[in-house]
Amino acid sequence: MLAHSRARTRRTLAPFFAGLGEPAYRVGQAEKWIWEGAARSFDEMTNLPASIRAPLAKAFSLTPLAPDYVARSRDGTIKHLWRLEDGERVESVLIPTRERLTLCLSSQVGCALACRFCATGYFGFRRQLRPAEIVAQYRDSLRVARDELGRPISNVVYMGMGEPLANLDAVIDSLAVLHGGFGLGARRITVSTVGLIPGILELARRPEPFELAVSLHAPSHDLRLQLMPIEKRYPLPELFEALRTYQGYKNRRISFEYTLIGGVNDDPALAHALADLARGLICFVNLIPFNPIPARPEWRPSGPAAIERFAAALTGRGVGNAVRRPRGRDIAAACGQLRLSTEAGEPRT
Ligand code: SAH
């Protein structure tokens, strides 16, 4: 059910209810439960007669996720580890600020891209998530947001485990459901990618103004290749050509993510190179102090002075930027820290 648009869900439910001899208004009742009520099961739909809830549950699934583990940070961040039907697990994170409540969700179990600074990269790829499994992270998080935080989710970022554009069809379907089913504004949904060009061009052709974030981390081929193996397949000049095409279609600001690793990619000269690379693009750079991961004990986040120098160098070249404060560090919910243990059954957080 969760994999389809509101209209398609209605088209599926209408003949089903008719077949059970139920009046047409039942369809609207069920719909309301799914999209507004964030129902996880047909049993919750208490204004539907019990006699039709059973056949509904038999015919359709609402893909309830089992929360295997919940961690609450001192800063209000809430991390969930969800168990999927086949026992695989993915994480999502609710990040409250004064103005926003952002959900960071996963698009794959693990990731194949092996970025050197990312914990998920060392975990490897397990499988794709289905559209309903992506949407269900939102639906189940929305319930927690309403119950525990008393507010709805205002923004969604595809920045959990996985590379969204390497699971393109499922991600596009999930975007359609978040937007068209749950009614989240397209501008409030950000897809973050290492820079998979076919996916970027596909997003460019979509009519909805979803936000695009590109994980850059280095402005030169050699350095980026050291950090991100994908640079070999989609090198920077081609990536930026695609981004210019994207902006030709969309005329929307592109965000870059730049994780600052002490002494590795934080030289101000690199900020200048980044500014040159981005010339002509409307863009904004999010600077993320590196979150240490066990696989790279020798890497540290850049210090405050180095971050300040890098940011100032960008600003000096007219490139808007902001330093992102790590959230949920005490529960290993910060950028790049999401991972699952392979066999132990317990999250290694
Ligand atoms: N695959 C997508 C989305 C997942 S990662 C992408 O790469 O964009 C979300 C962001 O967290 C990316 O910008 C990623 O580069 C960044 N990140 C990964 N590991 C990190 C770490 N250890 N410290 C800080 N940021 C990290």
Within this chain, do residues 91 and 227 fall inside the same structural domain, yes or no? yes
Task: Give the angle 30-10-182 at the CA atoms, nearest 5°.
Answer: 70
Within this chain, do residues 45 and 154 fall inside the same structural domain, yes or no? no
Tell whether 246 is covered by a domain: yes
Which helix or strand (DSSP H or E) is residue 241 part of?
helix 236-250
Within this chain, do residues 189 and 258 fall inside the same structural domain, yes or no? yes
pLDDT at 345 over 50: no
Q: Which of 59, 87, 103 is the last residue of a domain?
A: 59
Within this chain, do residues 312 and 205 fall inside the same structural domain, yes or no? yes
Q: Which of 59, 76, 102 is the last residue of a domain?
A: 59
Confidence band for 339, pLDDT divided at 50, 70 and 90:
low
Within this chain, do residues 17 and 117 fall inside the same structural domain, yes or no? no
* pLDDT on residue 344: 40
Flag the least confident range among 112-121, 137-146, 161-170, 329-338. Answer: 329-338
Tell whether 348 is covered by a domain: no
List strands edge to edge, sheet with 78-83: 66-72, 78-83, 89-96, 101-104, 155-158, 189-193, 211-215, 254-260, 283-289, 320-323
* pLDDT on residue 349: 38
Confidence band for 334, pLDDT divided at 50, 70 and 90:
confident
296-321 pLDDT per residue, tens: 999 999 999 999 999 999 999 999 99
Whether 258 is in the pocket of ligand 1, judged by its Cβ within 6 Å, is no
Tell whether 349 is covered by a domain: no
Tell whether 1 is covered by a domain: no
Within this chain, do residues 19 and 156 fall inside the same structural domain, yes or no? no
Residue whose Cα lies nearest atom 6 of ligand 1: it is: 193
Within this chain, do residues 153 and 175 fall inside the same structural domain, yes or no? yes
Confidence band for 336, pLDDT divided at 50, 70 and 90:
low
Whole-angstrom distance, CA of residue 138 vs CA of residue 135 = 5
pLDDT at 58 over 60: yes
Give mean pLDDT, residues 288-296: 93
Q: Which of 26, 42, 59 is the last residue of a domain?
A: 59
Task: Give the angle 331-259-241 at the CA atoms, nearest 5°.
Answer: 135
67-102 pLDDT per residue, tens: 999 999 999 999 999 999 999 999 999 999 999 999
* pLDDT on residue 327: 83
**Residue pointed to by tokens 């559209």:** 131
Whether 216 is in the pocket of ligand 1, judged by its Cβ within 6 Å, is no
Whether 17 is in the pocket of ligand 1, judged by its Cβ within 6 Å, is no
Ligand 1 center from residue 157 Cα (angstroms): 12
pLDDT at 332 over 60: yes
Please give the number of the atom of ligand 1 that sits closest to the Cα of 293: 22
pLDDT at 346 over 60: no
* pLDDT on residue 98: 93
Within this chain, do residues 71 and 54 fall inside the same structural domain, yes or no? no
Ligand 1 center from residue 93 Cα (angstroms): 14
Ligand 1 center from residue 152 Cα (angstroms): 25
Within this chain, do residues 196 and 273 fall inside the same structural domain, yes or no? yes
Nearest in space to 92 (alpha carbons), one of 288, 293, 338: 338
Whether 259 is in the pocket of ligand 1, judged by its Cβ within 6 Å, is yes
Within this chain, do residues 93 and 212 fall inside the same structural domain, yes or no? yes
Within this chain, do residues 17 and 102 fall inside the same structural domain, yes or no? no
Cβ atoms of 302 and 289 within 8 Å: the answer is: yes
> Where does 256-316 have alpha helices with state H?
268-277, 304-316
Tell whether 131 is covered by a domain: yes
Task: Note the pTM of the prediction, 2 decimals.
Answer: 0.95
CATH number, position 148: 3.20.20.70
* pLDDT on residue 227: 98
* pLDDT on residue 343: 37
pLDDT at 338 over 90: no
124-142 pLDDT per residue, tens: 999 999 999 999 999 999 9
- Average model confidence (pLDDT) for the chain? 93
Whether 102 is in the pocket of ligand 1, judged by its Cβ within 6 Å, is no
Give mean pLDDT, residues 158-167: 97
Please give the number of the atom of ligand 1 that sits closest to the Cα of 257: 13
Whether 261 is in the pocket of ligand 1, judged by its Cβ within 6 Å, is no
pLDDT at 202 over 80: yes
CATH number, position 27: 1.10.150.530
Ligand 1 center from residue 288 Cα (angstroms): 9
Residue 15 structural domain: 6-59
How long, in residues, is the chain?
349
Tell whether 299 is covered by a domain: yes
The count of structural domains within the chain is: 2
* pLDDT on residue 340: 56
* pLDDT on residue 1: 87
Within this chain, do residues 171 and 243 fall inside the same structural domain, yes or no? yes
Tell whether 99 is covered by a domain: yes
